[in-house]
Structure 1
Amino acid sequence: MVEVTGLSKVYGSKAVVEDVSLNIEKGKITSFIGPNGAGKSTLLSMISRLIAQDTGEILIDGQDITKSKNNELAKKISILKQANDISVRLTVKELVSFGRFPYSQGRLNKEDKRHIEEAINYMELKDMENKYLDQLSGGQKQRAFIAMVLAQDTEYILLDEPLNNLDMKHSVQIMKVLRRLVDELGKTIVIVIHDINFASCYSDNIVALKDGKVVKKGPACEIIHSPVLKEIYDMDIDIKCINDKNICIYF
């Protein structure tokens, strides 16, 4: 479990995240939703220790992340940020191999190669594993970066808007893969996502943020309701139940 208590982050005079407390259940998909500037990505970055919190505490399985060694934390938690620009020319397979660095330190063994192959196959990239990243479409490149995170084989996977640059088909593919990782392999996934219908259909739990604060948190079926979404997004959103999932109608 990830336990966040009294977490805050201030830039200049603006509190980007303000006194956030929440628990993230193991073996579940938890989605962070909310408007732009709500603090979702900053919260995710603090949980992964990419940026330091100003106040508050983050425990992963009871351990304070500020006291964890980098290499050990990298075996426990992986994160994919929005910006993934790499200046070095790499093939898909070379990129995915970077996910094994906390274990191999650059010297890949049989186990590392197995994880790399599995991640490439999970993301349906086998036919382009030897292509260079600059030869790929935006969606293909995004799938390659997600494969790198999968190869890291951490219990906790944090993804910041992983559906960016993806068309409908590949967005569904990514969400189905994430669901399988949780249901079949027991992973714990935290995702920042803008599409509230994907959040509704694939999440176990949702944390809704606005202006750096948690507005609502709970099971997805409790969050995807018109009055709650009105408070979050300041707009009227009609809800239809389709195949036992709450689907938001907004256009």
Structure 2
Amino acid sequence: MEKPWKALELLISTIIVLILLTIAYLVIRPTTQNVSVLPTIEPLPTFGIPPEVRARIDTVADTSNARYLCPEFTDVGPIQLATCVDCIYYAVDKLHALSPTYVPPLVTTKLPGGGRMRPEVDVALTALFAAAQRQGLYPTVTSAYRSFSEQSFTFQAWVATEKRNQITEAQAIARAARYSARAGHSEHQLGTAVDINCSGCVAFDTNDPRNIALWAFFEKNAQDYGFVVSYPRGIEALTGYQYEPWHLRYIGADMAKQLYNMGYITGNGICLANFLRVEQQQ
């Protein structure tokens, strides 16, 4: 009579394990929606900094803003790990990383799309969304805070998606790294970065006129609410990331307006990471 009970116990144990694995997946799964939908990959730069960008950089180089210019991108060098307790203004990039244990103060937003972010970011983003809605634009959060482990999962998911194109692991990593950060190197871990698209639009769809209109609104107005576009058009050779109009980072209205007034959004070589480093040294 014991064998049926043992079989039942084994079945129950198996079900419990499957439930726990499902819960674990839901906890660490990437918060980016439509992970199977690749962002549009622009052609890789064939030679350093494009001439039109170089011309804009040369113009800035003759001004007092020259110290904010980004050096040409390289991912070769030692990784510097952040030591800040509150890293809200930390200049995260491919050579400057956050600790795996860094977690900012977070709240769950009630904005469309949901997600977690710092409290001050939620307040500012709510105001920015309201401003967009007054213009007939309806944004939704695609992705907000991601933990170190969530970012690791997200990056590997993009690599796996790229490998469907029958390319090597190294090629898939190189392609994914143009639009997704490795764990520790993502602004999303700060709790101050959000990816946004229009309500009802496919995430990262650069051909949808509704997305285009929304992102254009952000490029012109986000600074008034404390946000900047982390990776403007034309400066991938400086940041290592292609143009991402959907990716906003909160740095506060004063610094956001300062950066905007320097013309960073035109791709003049002034990039967010170097701007933050310079500002924190003053």
**If the length of structure 1 is used for normalisation, what is the TM-score?**
0.26
Higher strand share: 1
Higher helix share: 2
Q: Which has the larger radius of gyration?
A: 2
